[in-house]
Structure 1
Amino acid sequence: MNPLTLIIDQGTHATRALAFDADGQALAATHCPVSLQRLSADRVEQDAAEIAASLHQTLTGILADDRVRQAGIAQAGLATQRSSVVAWDRETGEPLTPVINWQDRRAAAWLAQFAGNEPVIKEKTGLPLSPHYGASKLRWLLDHVPAVQQARRDGRLAFGPLASFLLARLLRGQPFLVDHANANRTQLWHIDYRDWDPWLLDLFGVPGDLLPVCRPIVYEYGLMSLADAPVTAVNGDQNAVVYALGQPEKGTAVINLGTGAFVLISTGRQRVSHPALLTGLTSSTAFVGEYTLEGTVNGAGSALSWAGKRWGIPDIPAYLDEWLARPEEPPVFLNSIGGLGSPFWRPGPEPVIVGEGDLGQRVTAVAESILFLLQINLDEMRAAGATVSRLRVSGGLAQSGQLCQRLADLSGCPVYRPQITEATARGTAWLAAGRPSHWPELQPGKQFDPRPNTALTDRYWRFRELMAL
């Protein structure tokens, strides 16, 4: 048996470790849930020590697997939630703050003072000005957390993307590094020069010497502490999904339906700009980068969780297909959970159901609102010149066949759902293993072809009207 590729996928609700063979098949996996603290509508945190412990637990678990021990590990990769930041003690490695989650918007009022600089910020970073990104969160930590201020005075402060904190835990010698994809989501990093931008650092008041050293996504980061294998790729979780089936197909937009929903289409080595969509890197080496155009929906799984708590439903996904299959006309849900992402970048109206309906119809309205927001982003991508002829879906909500069918009906594109479920980990493995030409699907997925659905289209336009979009 050939040595395996070990991947750690640290997401919003769980940390996973998976071992892939040379064909991209997961031979072993471990999983550890992590908690999320939603302190208020705009404050979302996670326990940094808990996430670090979950990293250790999943790693030790998978390294103890008999198949992994027999085959060995050739290389490893790390994928993490993007736009989440944390501060820690550079000498001890202990966290000084919670992880400020990617959904957090606590510094929105402070960030508004830079609205006049947004065109320059967008040009430099590929990102619109938003409190979801790291710059305002890092500045908030400097301004409001005494332990951070003391560590800075003592010369012991390290802070930055969650990926850099986890790399220090994962690698020998605790290096202070971060990959291009996660550095990008701080809004302090220049997407063309691929390093911290002095003008942005000065604008937001974030000292560059406190931030990690930037490295390409595909790079030898160092040897793992728990295994004699190098980490050869580090990426943002959504960026990595693009490579789940290997080299991206032209015209295929990739949609990952998790806590948030993210739609990305590869633009190759060409950076394509759009005033309200994101430009990012999905892969980079010391010499070249591969770009995407991306749209973001903040309220996907999180919107269904909101509905579950509000209406007392412990497990909405278990009933989703049954409710979506009902013929009754659902109401419309104004989905501003987590604030409106692209292409609007504003808080949005209060989340509310418009119209009458029973429990199943109200949940259907919430699910459809996710599709409506995705469709708006697909329309914007086409307006930017991108060809979108096929959609590929992954993530927990993609397991709903009824949701996939409605996405096909609304978009007018065939929707393909692969059998693989761990798209982030498999995409990271493909990069870490050196982009192998042979990366097959052992079992074909399911395709949902578009069907006429006038009622759904009418609700989409009604949604846009009610949201004033």
Structure 2
Amino acid sequence: MNPLTLIIDQGTHATRALAFDTDGQVQASAHCPLALQRLSADRVEQDAAEIAVSLRQVITEVLADDVVRQAGIAQAGLASQRSSVAAWDRITGEPLAPLLSWQDRRAAAWLTQFEEYIPIIKEKTGLPLSPHYGASKLRWLLDHVPAVQQARQDGRLAFGPFASFLLAHLLRGQPFLVDHANANRTQLWHIDYRDWDPWLLDLFGIPGDLLPACRPIVHEYGLMALADVPVTAVNGDQNAAVYALGQPERGTAVINLGTGAFVLVSTGRRRIRHPALLSGLTASDTLAGEYTLEGTVNGAGSALSWAGEAWGISDISARLDEWLARPEEPPVFLNSIGGLGSPFWRPGPEPAIVGEGEPWQWVTAVAESILFLLQANLDEMRAAGVTISRLRVSGGLAQSGQLCQRLADLSGCVVYRPQETEATARGAAWLAAGRPSHWPELQPGQQFDPRSNKALMDRYWRFRELMGL
């Protein structure tokens, strides 16, 4: 067997390590679940030290696997949750505060003072002004955490995208680096110049010397601390998922249905500017970048979790397909869980059911609301002249065949669900391995063809009306 590619996939609910062969197939894996502290509707944290320990744990477990020991590891890559930030001691590597999650919106009120600069911020970063991104969270850490303030006075403070914290723990010598994709989600980084933007740093009051050095997504980052293995690619989780099957086909939008839901369309070397959608990079090297147009839905799996807790309904994931298959028409759910993402960018109404129904129908309405928010983004992309004829889905919610069929009916697109479910890790492996031309699907996935569904379309437009969209 040829040497393998090791990928660390650091997500909201788990840290995983996976070893891929040259066919893009998983030969070994390890998994460590993580806690999430939802302190309030706007405050969401994780324990950065717990995640650092999980990083070492899963890597050690995979390196000890018999198949891995026999084949060896040629290179490694990292994919991480985007828009989360951390602060730590540059000397010891110890966290100085909890990780502020990508779901965290605690600095939303502070951010409103910059609304007059929204067009400039959007042009420079490709992002709308939003508390989900890193700038306001980093400033909050500077303003409110004594340990962060003391470390800054002592010249020991390091802070930035969570990927930079992970790299400091992953690599020898604790280098202070970050990739382009995760740097982009701070809202402090110029997407065309591909570096920290002095005007943005000054606007938000973030000293540039406290931030990591920016490197391309595909880059020699250094050797792993736990093995003589070079890390050759670092990316955001959703960005990496675009490459799960290799270079994406023209006209294909990639949708990941996880805690949040994200739809990305590769636009190649051309950046498409859209007032309500995101621009980002899915890959970059020292010479060029590959742009993407992206829509984001904050309330996907998190909305179903909210429903389970709020309404006392258990086993939603196990029963979702059964409920979606029933013929009774569901009510409409006003899905503002986590605030409205693109293309609306506002808090939205209070979450609520509009219409009659039993609890299982409420859950069906929540599931449909995720699709409705995705469809609003697809509508915007098509209006911008982007051709979308096929949707490729991944993530935990994509395992619901009924949900995939509804997405096909609503969008009018063929929906393809690969047999391989490790979209983020597999895409990261493809980049880390040097973008090989041979990256096959060993087993075909399932295709869902669009059908006429007038009742679903009617609920979609009713949803938009009720949400004030």
TM tier relative to shorter chain = over 0.9
Q: Name the aligned partner's letter for residue 280 of structure 1.
A: G
Given the alignment of the two structures, is residue 90 of structure 1 paired with residue 90 of structure 2, yes or no?
yes
Q: Distance in 2 between matches of 1:204 and 1:310?
A: 36
Q: Name the aligned partner's letter for residue 67 of structure 1.
A: V
Q: Distance in 2 between matches of 1:71 and 1:51?
A: 28
Given the alignment of the two structures, is residue 199 of structure 1 paired with residue 199 of structure 2, yes or no?
yes
Q: Distance in 1 between matches of 2:415 and 2:277?
A: 22
Q: Name the aligned partner's letter for residue 377 of structure 2.
A: N
Q: Give 5+ residue unaligned stretches, structure 2.
A: none
Q: Distance in 1 between matches of 2:189 and 2:94?
A: 25
Q: Distance in 1 between matches of 2:50 and 2:263?
A: 29
The number of residue pairs the alignment matches comes to 469
- Find the counterpart in structure 1 of residue 123 from structure 2: 123
Given the alignment of the two structures, is residue 463 of structure 1 paired with residue 441 of structure 2, yes or no?
no
The secondary structure found in structure 2 opposite 1:142 is helix
- Find the counterpart in structure 2 of residue 263 from structure 1: 263
Q: Name the aligned partner's letter for residue 158 of structure 2.
A: A
The secondary structure found in structure 1 opposite 2:129 is coil
Please show how residues 169-188 of structure 1 align to structure 2 within 5 Å.
Answer: 169-188=169-188
Given the alignment of the two structures, is residue 440 of structure 1 paired with residue 440 of structure 2, yes or no?
yes
Q: Distance in 2 between matches of 1:298 and 1:106?
A: 15
- Find the counterpart in structure 1 of residue 384 from structure 2: 384
- Please report how far the alpha carbon of residue 311 of structure 1 lies from its aligned counterpart in structure 2 after TM superposition: 1.6
Q: Name the aligned partner's letter for residue 460 of structure 1.
A: Y
- Please report how far the alpha carbon of residue 405 of structure 1 lies from its aligned counterpart in structure 2 after TM superposition: 0.1
Given the alignment of the two structures, is residue 80 of structure 1 paired with residue 80 of structure 2, yes or no?
yes
Q: Name the aligned partner's letter for residue 6 of structure 1.
A: L
Q: Name the aligned partner's letter for residue 311 of structure 1.
A: W
Per-residue CA deviations over 1:258-296 (Å, capped at 9, x if unaligned) read: 000000000000001100000000000000100000000
The secondary structure found in structure 2 opposite 1:431 is helix
- Find the counterpart in structure 2 of residue 356 from structure 1: 356
- Please report how far the alpha carbon of residue 227 of structure 1 lies from its aligned counterpart in structure 2 after TM superposition: 1.0
Please show how residues 215-254 of structure 1 align to structure 2 within 5 Å.
Answer: 215-254=215-254
Please show how residues 55-454 of structure 1 align to structure 2 within 5 Å.
Answer: 55-454=55-454
Q: Name the aligned partner's letter for residue 52 of structure 1.
A: A
Q: Distance in 2 between matches of 1:314 and 1:461?
A: 30
Q: Distance in 1 between matches of 2:270 and 2:225?
A: 37
Q: Distance in 2 between matches of 1:256 and 1:84?
A: 18
- Please report how far the alpha carbon of residue 384 of structure 1 lies from its aligned counterpart in structure 2 after TM superposition: 1.1
Q: Distance in 1 between matches of 2:455 and 2:385?
A: 28
- Please report how far the alpha carbon of residue 360 of structure 1 lies from its aligned counterpart in structure 2 after TM superposition: 1.1
- Please report how far the alpha carbon of residue 33 of structure 1 lies from its aligned counterpart in structure 2 after TM superposition: 0.4
The secondary structure found in structure 2 opposite 1:112 is helix
- Please report how far the alpha carbon of residue 314 of structure 1 lies from its aligned counterpart in structure 2 after TM superposition: 3.0
Q: Distance in 2 between matches of 1:259 and 1:94?
A: 28
The secondary structure found in structure 1 opposite 2:39 is strand
Q: Distance in 2 between matches of 1:116 and 1:180?
A: 26
The secondary structure found in structure 1 opposite 2:158 is strand
The secondary structure found in structure 2 opposite 1:40 is coil
Q: Distance in 2 between matches of 1:465 and 1:269?
A: 37
Q: Name the aligned partner's letter for residue 264 of structure 1.
A: L
Q: Distance in 2 between matches of 1:155 and 1:205?
A: 17
- Please report how far the alpha carbon of residue 231 of structure 1 lies from its aligned counterpart in structure 2 after TM superposition: 0.2
- Find the counterpart in structure 2 of residue 2 from structure 1: 2
The secondary structure found in structure 2 opposite 1:82 is coil
Q: Name the aligned partner's letter for residue 300 of structure 1.
A: A
Q: Distance in 1 between matches of 2:236 and 2:131?
A: 18
Q: Distance in 2 between matches of 1:358 and 1:404?
A: 23
Q: Distance in 2 between matches of 1:107 and 1:441?
A: 44
Q: Distance in 1 between matches of 2:330 and 2:206?
A: 47
After TM superposition, the runs of 4+ consecutive aligned structure 1 residues lying more than 3 A away are none
Q: Distance in 1 between matches of 2:43 and 2:171?
A: 31
- Please report how far the alpha carbon of residue 310 of structure 1 lies from its aligned counterpart in structure 2 after TM superposition: 1.1
The secondary structure found in structure 1 opposite 2:226 is coil
Per-residue CA deviations over 1:81-109 (Å, capped at 9, x if unaligned) read: 00000100000000001000000000000
Q: Name the aligned partner's letter for residue 446 of structure 2.
A: K
- Please report how far the alpha carbon of residue 21 of structure 1 lies from its aligned counterpart in structure 2 after TM superposition: 0.3
Q: Distance in 2 between matches of 1:161 and 1:313?
A: 35
Q: Distance in 2 between matches of 1:51 and 1:286?
A: 30
Q: Name the aligned partner's letter for residue 303 of structure 2.
A: A
Q: Give 5+ residue unaligned stretches, structure 1.
A: none
Q: Distance in 1 between matches of 2:314 and 2:421?
A: 23
The secondary structure found in structure 1 opposite 2:337 is coil
Greater Cα shift, 259-268 or 355-364: 355-364
Q: Distance in 1 between matches of 2:93 and 2:81?
A: 20
Q: Name the aligned partner's letter for residue 262 of structure 2.
A: F
TM-score between both structures, scaled by the size of structure 1: 1.00
Q: Name the aligned partner's letter for residue 153 of structure 2.
A: R
Q: Distance in 1 between matches of 2:328 and 2:246?
A: 41
Greater Cα shift, 310-319 or 25-34: 310-319
Per-residue CA deviations over 1:418-466 (Å, capped at 9, x if unaligned) read: 0011100000000000000000000000000000000000000000000
- Please report how far the alpha carbon of residue 313 of structure 1 lies from its aligned counterpart in structure 2 after TM superposition: 2.3
The secondary structure found in structure 1 opposite 2:440 is coil
RMSD (CA atoms): 0.4
- Please report how far the alpha carbon of residue 385 of structure 1 lies from its aligned counterpart in structure 2 after TM superposition: 1.1
Q: Name the aligned partner's letter for residue 293 of structure 1.
A: L
Q: Distance in 1 between matches of 2:357 and 2:52?
A: 44
Q: Name the aligned partner's letter for residue 306 of structure 1.
A: W
- Please report how far the alpha carbon of residue 318 of structure 1 lies from its aligned counterpart in structure 2 after TM superposition: 0.2
Q: Distance in 2 between matches of 1:384 and 1:217?
A: 27
- Please report how far the alpha carbon of residue 315 of structure 1 lies from its aligned counterpart in structure 2 after TM superposition: 2.3
Percent of residue pairs identical: 86
Per-residue CA deviations over 1:290-333 (Å, capped at 9, x if unaligned) read: 00000000000000000011122232110000000000010000
Q: Distance in 1 between matches of 2:278 and 2:384?
A: 12
Q: Name the aligned partner's letter for residue 8 of structure 1.
A: I
Q: Distance in 2 between matches of 1:393 and 1:139?
A: 35
Q: Distance in 2 between matches of 1:107 and 1:385?
A: 35
